[in-house]
Amino acid sequence: MKVATIVGARPQFIKMAPVSRELRKHFDEIVIHTGQHYDYEMNKIFFEQLNIPEPDYYLGVGSGSHGYQTGGMLQGIEEVLIKERPDLVLVYGDTNSTLAGALASVKLHIRIAHVEAGLRSFDKRMPEEINRVLTDHISDYLFAPTETAVKNLHKEGIKDGVYLTGDVMYDALLYNIKIAREKSRILDELGLRSKEYMLATVHRAENTDNQKNLESIIDAFIESNELIVFPAHPRTRKYLKTYGLMEKIEKATNILLIPPVGYLDMLVIEENARKILTDSGGVQKEAYFLKVPCITLRERTEWVETVEDGWNILVGANKSEIRRAIKEFEPSGETYSYKFGDGKASMKIARILSEQLDR
C-alpha cells in the first residue's frame, strides 16, 4: 500500500515528523513538497533536525497570490498523483498546500486523510478557515485532535470517517522537548535568561497585510518596555520594511528581532518565556502544553480549549489590550483540564489507516 504525504509549509514539516515515523511501519510513503516554504530556516532546517525523509517530489511552487499558489500546486500535485497512483493521500492542517493536495486527490478518486481535521475559527475572512472547511468536506478519514473538533465536524454533518486521535503536535513536542533542552544553546546565544523575556511571533495575513494592525502590535511591544524576542516570519519582515516599521524596531532597545529559528530552539525559547504573544495556531498550543501564558493577537481562535482553560487570552491587534495583557494577564489558576491526546496520536493514525486500507 502506498501513501502520498503532501506538505509545503513550516508547521506541516513539524506535524509530519511523528506521523511519518509511524506510517513507515505499515506503508510505503512518498513525500510531495509543494515548495510553499523554501527559505532554509522555513524549510530545510526542519527536515535536518527532525529526521524527516527527504521529499520524493519538490514542486517548487513558491510564493504568490492565493490563485497563483494554489493553482500551481494543484497542477503539480495532479501530475505526481497520476504517475504514482497512491492508495491514499495524507494532508495536514489548513494551508494552501493542504487544500491543493486534497482537491487534486478527490478529482482523481484517491482517498484522502486529513490530519488536524475539524478545527474552526468561524471566521471566513481567514484563508486558513476556507482551507480547513473545504478539505474536511472532501476527506475520507478525518483525524480530529480534540473533542471540540469532532463536534464541529458532526455539526456540519460529517460523521463517517471521523476519529478522535489527539494532536500530532503534542506528539512532536513530547518527542523533542528533552532533545531540545539538551542540544539547544539558543538562550546563551541570544543572551536571554529564563523567565526574564517574552516571545512574540506574528505572521497571519490579518495582522501583517494590514498596516494599522501591524503598527499597533509593534507599538504595543515597544511601549511595554518588556524584553521581547521576536523571530520574524519572512512575510512579516517584508511588511515591516514596506510600512517603514523596521527603523522603529531597530531603535527600540527592548525588541530582539531575529530570523525564524529551528524547532528545537523554538521549544526552548517558548518554555523559558514568561509570556508568549502570537497569532500562530501551533504556538498557542505549544504555550499551553508548556504551561506558558499566551496572549493571542487575533480576535478568534480555533484552539478554544486553551482560552476556556484560562491559559490564553484573545486580544486581536488592539494596542491597549495587548499592553494590558502583557502587564496583567495571568492564567486563572492551575486548571489544565483539556487533553490534546496522550502523545500517541501519530501511532493511532497509522494504525487506523492500516486497518481501514487493508479492508
Give contact residues for ligand UD1 (rule: CB under 6 A): 9-11, 36-39, 42, 63, 94-96, 127-128, 203, 234-235, 238
Instruction: Using the minimum distance from each CB to ligand UDP, give the nearer residue, 282 or 316.
Output: 282
346 binds, among ligand UD1, ligand UDP, none (CB under 5 to 8 A by kind): none
42 binds, among ligand UDP, ligand UD1, none (CB under 5 to 8 A by kind): ligand UD1
Instruction: Using the minimum distance from each CB to ligand UDP, give the nearer residue, 199 or 325.
Output: 199
* Helix ranges (DSSP H) in 191-254: 205-208, 211-224, 234-242, 246-251
Residue 300 Cβ vs ligand UD1, minimum distance, rounded to whole Å: 14
Cα–Cα–Cα angle for 56, 62, 67, nearest 5°?
A: 115
Rounded to whole angstroms, how far apart are CA atoms 95 and 128?
Answer: 6
Instruction: Using the minimum distance from each CB to ligand UD1, give the nearer residue, 15 or 37.
Output: 37
CB atoms within 10 A of CB 328: 8
Instruction: Using the minimum distance from each CB to ligand UD1, give the nearer residue, 9 or 52.
Output: 9
Tell me 139's DSSP state. Answer: -
Residues that bind ligand UDP (CB under 6 A): 10-11, 14, 201, 231, 260-263, 266, 280-283, 286
**What phi, psi does 311 have (nearest 5°)?**
-95, -5
261 binds, among ligand UD1, ligand UDP, none (CB under 5 to 8 A by kind): ligand UDP
Cell numbers linked to 45? 532546517
Q: Which residues pair with 276 in a beta bridge?
A: 199, 294
Residue 2 Cβ vs ligand UDP, minimum distance, rounded to whole Å: 28
Residue 337 Cβ vs ligand UDP, minimum distance, rounded to whole Å: 23
Question: Which of 221, 331, 339, 348 is CA-nearest to residue 278?
Answer: 221
Grid cell 531575529 in the structure block, residue: 258
Rounded to whole angstroms, how far apart are CA atoms 249 and 219?
Answer: 9
Residue 127 Cβ vs ligand UDP, minimum distance, rounded to whole Å: 11
Asked if 26 is an active-site residue, the reply is no
235 binds, among ligand UDP, ligand UD1, none (CB under 5 to 8 A by kind): ligand UD1
Question: Which of 116, 111, 72 is CA-nearest to residue 94?
Answer: 116
Residues that are catalytic? 203
